[in-house]
Structure 1
């Protein structure tokens, strides 16, 4: 009965996210007609706090805990900002909206920024700072499948959530284990990750986050294992970064600095006072599942950014990997992908 109830809750969550997405897309018709002023005088004196919007990459969750700490604990305000945290229902939309100059900032992914800069039609976005500094994405499986190493994927059905990125990442790890693409079957499961694993439709899946789906499976009474991508041949990368577009950054560098100073302070607070930080997250998100979010928070705390100095080597390594594997059609230089705004 407990499992059935949780399935119903998951179905309800998917329906809610779909509804939110539709509402956000309907709103595009209005919002997109009012672009931000990228050419405004960045030194304009203001008597009130500067209002900015930070788009989220996904529905509010524990990965965003420091952002809600900054909001609820008035750290944004301390740095002269009034920040709206906004989620629209589509994880691909924030980067595109920021690139188009419709919003100033967004939470995004190092992979997405690399793809944006390496596309034939370049999307002019840059990372200005860090939220989560190591990958959360995994290849996950139930322990009862007998999978112990990536070589055990031979003859198995493998789910994936995002094409072509997840497919490319899985194929790279499988190749490192001596497998060919004929040795396993790839199945697109979309966002429906947990149910196909529990029902036996798939043996493993690439896409679950180690802090969320692994804990969700535990709550379902299922013993799960996972392979961390960066330990099996994928270059270590920043899971969550804060992005802006080139024109906005040129004209609003001080505002971008204020934002990252506030986020840096909020991350430090989160690490030093985790219990207080978790309560601030729940204060901002009273409908969040406390049981799941508490477990997720425990498994996320050590990967929140320890520095705001982004590594050229880390950006270069993933860009080289992406080009060599055909994810991007041209090479990308790290300097085009990020700026250490607090050192400017």
Structure 2
């Protein structure tokens, strides 16, 4: 079956957080959306719909082929069968295990060619740890269970895109991990990300690690020893890479249209600019996987879980982004306009 005709899988996230609610809201707000199925616990998803006072109902399925995509019915592929609902708004080992099971089931569907890609609702790192699962987050789970691919995280909104050299680790560890191979992997993935978005020759800006990109070695020499040689090596491969650029101005330059993708050295350097611009339109894309995966640009929001206050906008944006990426992978490539042509960017 052609990839573009396959459904999407949307995981429920941590059952104790807002994941089930925003998935339920996606179902209610997008009745005419592309065919998709939820992956998670049917009892949890039925409760999420009930809390919203929704007329729709859940149908538990055990295989993707059983999904009927009928109006008013949310197909939920059962990755777990909880005997009772987990507590809402607090770290729970049972929720961590259920969230993990949903991710593994969805990966299995994608690797087996049963779905075109994944959209994942938020999980809680402490819940994973409480369940004895030593993963810092989705990205590491996806990498390990998708053939050991070298992956990277890209955060994007309407104006900027950023790819991270290092992800979930202490800042001191991020500095150690920002070696030449890590730089090259991130630059190449950023280039491929731009290509997957329809940009024929993506302009990749690489941020420096130190203040003012090291100021010629005065504030650190990683830019001289590692980052600049990686940029030069990438350019020798035909990638339109430049840098290292000061981290405090490179995102402003990207917003003004000078760059298509920014490679950030560590988690907060790349995510603060995206999240500062608002969570509703931010999307997390995992690069380097054999299938499409996107997720919202926010966490489990335990403080509002179960209160009917969760906003599904970022999940909807992630859903739309996944559809566009799948369409382009399937040959329906449409060039992404430069900022000079349009203020709207993927």
Which structure has the higher relative contact order (CA within 8 Å, separation 6+)?
A: 1
Point out the structure with the larger helix share: 1
Q: Is the shorter-chain TM-score for this pair beyond 0.5, marking a shared fold?
A: no
| TM-score in terms of structure 2 length | 0.25
| TM-score in terms of structure 1 length | 0.25
